[in-house]
Structure 1
Amino acid sequence: MKLAVVGGGSTYTPELIDGFARLRDVLPIDELVLIDPAADRLELVGGLARRIFTKQGHPGTVTTTADLDAGVDGADAVLLQLRVGGQAARDRDETWPLECGCVGQETTGAGGLAKALRTVPVVLDIAERVRRSNPDAWIIDFTNPVGIVTRALLTAGHKAVGLCNVAIGFQRKFAKLLEVSPAEIHLDHVGLNHLTWELGVRLGGPDGTDVLPKLLSEHGDAVADDLHMPRTLVDRLGVVPSYYLRYYYAHDEVVRAQRQKPTRAAEVAALEKQLLEMYADPALDTKPELLSRRGGAYYSEAAVDLAASLMREGGSTHQAVNTLNNGTLPFLPDDAVIETQARIDRDGAHPLPVPALDPQFTGLIAHVTAYEDLALGAALHGGRDRVFKALLAHPLIGQIEYAEQLTDQLLAHNKEHLAWA
């Protein structure tokens, strides 16, 4: 089996490598190719990746290349984890929206739209080159904003599934609180990427006993603290919202906090500098503890499970992924991309049934889906008016004055990445 990772020079890649090495019986990789145009970073990461494989006795080979076409040639699956513009673009995404009093974040709001506009054309080009090399290859997208990027891929007819680590993170945390194995926890996870709620926490599978009331009763303070939300809100909702819902439920509070401290991009850039210095040490053959502060916890395990299920002969597994709605949420179009539990097999992702949702959830999901539709149109076709309409439609913006200012800022800060601007 050949796997290719586009964006393989990321400082986060050793987390992925560690998962591939530990879980080699689940996903037996013969060849792993790390692809990245940043040659200096790529060689440091590739060297550590080889040492991790050797340390853990993995028989597969790790190669590195800046040549995308050579790297994806013959790949059975391609993982996308790229960041167009790097941390510098992310820092801008997290800064200029604050000037209008809007949240500065790289996956939602104006910053999220900027990232989508930069990313979608690049990802579609990569996917087309993968299809020319191997039309049967699966594309696993971890590149944010995952929902919009995955929708772009599926709309273009690619074999793609989007992946986020929010659900597996909750699974691991809830299992620890309940003192059970993570494998025993099945989440009723539903919504859009970075806009999800855990409606149930079931022991033993989709039909298992729902222990969410027990979890909130006995561990509500710990759950709320982890979300940075009031315990009273979690109790009133009766479900566990993704921590990304804080941008909606406490928008102004978040903006005030963001104005008082460095951006997350600045923090990550500092971490990356330290990590690359560590990766250069030829004696290092394990992922460093510092990597846990980089973000993306459990991504490697989620990626291994998904890739293995997509390429496994016979059988299937359940996993929270981003895929086409196809009637799962009846208030959304079939071609919307939702994030929900699905049965995964060689034919792709098949969403599990979802109970009727409360209007407080359906309203926000429908609103953000409409924004994502407009965002994808702007990413595919360009144009200031399309950008403005997407920003105006976003529930975190929604005012003419803000949408006009943010459109000007977005275009000014992203001219080098937008061919049409």
Structure 2
Amino acid sequence: MRLAVAGGGSTYTPELIDGFARLRDTLPVSELTLIDPDTERLELVAGLARRIFAAQGHDATVTTTADPEAGVDGADAVLLQLRVGGQAARQLDETWPLECGCVGQETTGAGGLAKALRTVPVVLDIAERVRRTNPDAWIIDFTNPVGIVTRALLQAGHKALGLCNMAVNLQRKFAKLLDVMPEEIHLDHYGLNHLTWELGVRLGGPGGTDVLPKLLTEHVDGLALDVRMPRGVLETLGAFPSYYLRYYYAHDETVREMRGKPSRAEEVAAIERELLTMYGDPKLTEKPALLSRRGGAFYSEAAVALAAALLGGDAGGWTGDGTGDGADARRSGRGPGGARPSVQVVNLRNDGTMPYLPDDAVIEVPAEIGRDGAVALPVPAAGPLQTGLVAHVTAYEDLALDAALHGGRERVFKALLAHPLIGQYDRADALTDRLLASNREHLAWA
């Protein structure tokens, strides 16, 4: 099986390699191609990838290229983990919105729109190369903002699903609190990428007992601390919100905090410099502990499980705890003998799952995954606190994608005006000017 990773020079990549090596029985990768325009960085990452494979007795070959078309040619699946403009662009995304009194963040609000405008054209170009060389290949998008990027891919007719590591992290968090194995936990995960709630936490599968009330009773203080919200908010919601919802529920407080400390981009840039130095050490044969501070924990487990299910592997539904090798993993994917489909949280077309949204909206919910793609499971009933915000952000995403595909100051302004974190014409106007000034080198139409 051959996989390609666009953005293979990312410091995330050794996390992915570690998963491929440990879970070889789940996803038998024989060749991995890392694609990145930064060839110096790419070779550092590739060198560590080869050493990780060798140290774990995995015989997969690792090749590198700066040419996307050559890199994706012949791949069974292509993983996208791009950052157009690098950490320097992220630093801008996280700072200029603060000048207008808005959250500075790379995946939501004005910064998230800037990232979408830079990213969508590049992703669609890569996807077209995949379609030309091997149209049956699956595209798995880990590139933020995942919802908008995945929607762009699907509207262009590509075989694509979006992936985020948040649900797999929560599965493990709740399993630890309940002292059970992660595969015993099913999440009633509801919403859009980076705008989700756990409406239920079920033991034993989609029809299992909902233990979220127990968690919110016995562990509410710790859970509230995790998402940096008062315990009373969680108790009132009766659901567990994504920590991204703090940008909505405590916007002004968050802006004040952001203005008083270094940006996350600065922190990540410093971590990346140290990681890249480590990656160049020929004695390093495993992912370093520092990588856990980079973000993306359990990304490899989620990516392996999704790719295996889409490609008809024997263990597409692996949902273990990430500590053992593939031989010890639980299996529930559709493999030889017609095993049941794997259930995983992905970003996919709505197609009536949330009837108040258009069919072509991209939602983030549990779905059955098999060789033919993903089918969303029925979602639990959500209240106005969820449906109202989801509908609002979906409308913004529609306008954001229009701006990313067609450009133009007016389209950017409309998207910013529609975003619930902005919503005022004077702010939207000022943010539009700052967005364009900060991103001209990445926007062909600006």
TM-score (norm 2): 0.94
Residue 352 of structure 2 corresponds to residue 327 of structure 1: yes
Correspondences of 1:317-396 after superposition (within 5 Å): 317-396=342-421
The answer to whether the 8 Å contact 2:20/2:27 transfers is yes
Partner of 1:205: 205
State the Cα distance separating 1:355 from its structure 2 match: 2.2
Partner of 1:36: 36
Question: Bigger shift: 81-90 or 67-76?
Answer: 67-76
What is the aligned-residue identity percentage?
Answer: 77
Structure 1: give runs of 5+ residues left out of the alignment: none
Q: Secondary structure at the match of 1:188?
A: strand
Rounded to whole Å, the distance in 2 between the matches of 1:323 and 1:135 is 19
Rounded to whole Å, the distance in 2 between the matches of 1:363 and 1:309 is 33
Rounded to whole Å, the distance in 2 between the matches of 1:51 and 1:369 is 43
Residue 117 of structure 2 corresponds to residue 117 of structure 1: yes
State the Cα distance separating 1:35 from its structure 2 match: 0.6
The answer to whether the 8 Å contact 2:199/2:380 transfers is no
State the Cα deviation string for residues 80-100 of structure 1 (Å, max 9, x = none).
Answer: 000000000000000000000
Partner of 1:132: 132
TM-score (norm 1): 0.99
Rounded to whole Å, the distance in 2 between the matches of 1:164 and 1:185 is 17
Partner of 1:308: 308
Rounded to whole Å, the distance in 2 between the matches of 1:302 and 1:133 is 26
State the Cα distance separating 1:25 from its structure 2 match: 0.4
Partner of 1:95: 95
Residue 87 of structure 2 corresponds to residue 62 of structure 1: no
Rounded to whole Å, the distance in 1 between the matches of 2:115 and 2:32 is 27
State the Cα distance separating 1:388 from its structure 2 match: 0.3
Considering only aligned residues, what root-mean-square deviation do their CA atoms show, in Å? 0.6
Rounded to whole Å, the distance in 1 between the matches of 2:36 and 2:350 is 32
* Residue among 432, 436, 442 paired with 1:407: 432
State the Cα deviation string for residues 210-269 of structure 1 (Å, max 9, x = none).
Answer: 111111111111111111111111111010000000000000011000001111011000
Rounded to whole Å, the distance in 1 between the matches of 2:143 and 2:224 is 27
Rounded to whole Å, the distance in 2 between the matches of 1:305 and 1:86 is 28
Rounded to whole Å, the distance in 1 between the matches of 2:289 and 2:138 is 31
Partner of 1:189: 189
Matched to 2:258, the amino acid is: Q
Correspondences of 1:235-246 after superposition (within 5 Å): 235-246=235-246
Give the 4+ runs in structure 1 shifted more than 2 A: none
Q: Secondary structure at the match of 1:78?
A: strand
Residue 150 of structure 2 corresponds to residue 169 of structure 1: no
Rounded to whole Å, the distance in 2 between the matches of 1:67 and 1:283 is 29
Matched to 1:409, the amino acid is: R
Q: Secondary structure at the match of 2:123?
A: helix
State the Cα deviation string for residues 183-218 of structure 1 (Å, max 9, x = none).
Answer: 100000010000000000001110111111111111
Rounded to whole Å, the distance in 2 between the matches of 1:67 and 1:116 is 22
Q: Secondary structure at the match of 1:148?
A: helix
Matched to 1:414, the amino acid is: N
Rounded to whole Å, the distance in 2 between the matches of 1:411 and 1:18 is 39
Matched to 1:214, the amino acid is: K
Q: Secondary structure at the match of 2:186?
A: strand
Structure 2: give runs of 5+ residues left out of the alignment: 313-334
Aligned residues between the structures: 421
State the Cα distance separating 1:59 from its structure 2 match: 1.7
Partner of 1:214: 214
State the Cα deviation string for residues 256-301 of structure 1 (Å, max 9, x = none).
Answer: 0000111101100000000011011000000000000000111000
Q: Secondary structure at the match of 1:286?
A: coil
Q: Secondary structure at the match of 2:173?
A: helix
* Residue among 393, 398, 412 paired with 2:423: 398
Matched to 1:202, the amino acid is: R
Rounded to whole Å, the distance in 1 between the matches of 2:149 and 2:386 is 22
Rounded to whole Å, the distance in 2 between the matches of 1:399 and 1:81 is 33
Partner of 1:278: 278
Partner of 2:329: none
State the Cα distance separating 1:67 from its structure 2 match: 1.5
State the Cα distance separating 1:69 from its structure 2 match: 1.2
Partner of 1:289: 289
Rounded to whole Å, the distance in 2 between the matches of 1:13 and 1:355 is 35
Rounded to whole Å, the distance in 1 between the matches of 2:342 and 2:433 is 46
State the Cα distance separating 1:356 from its structure 2 match: 2.2
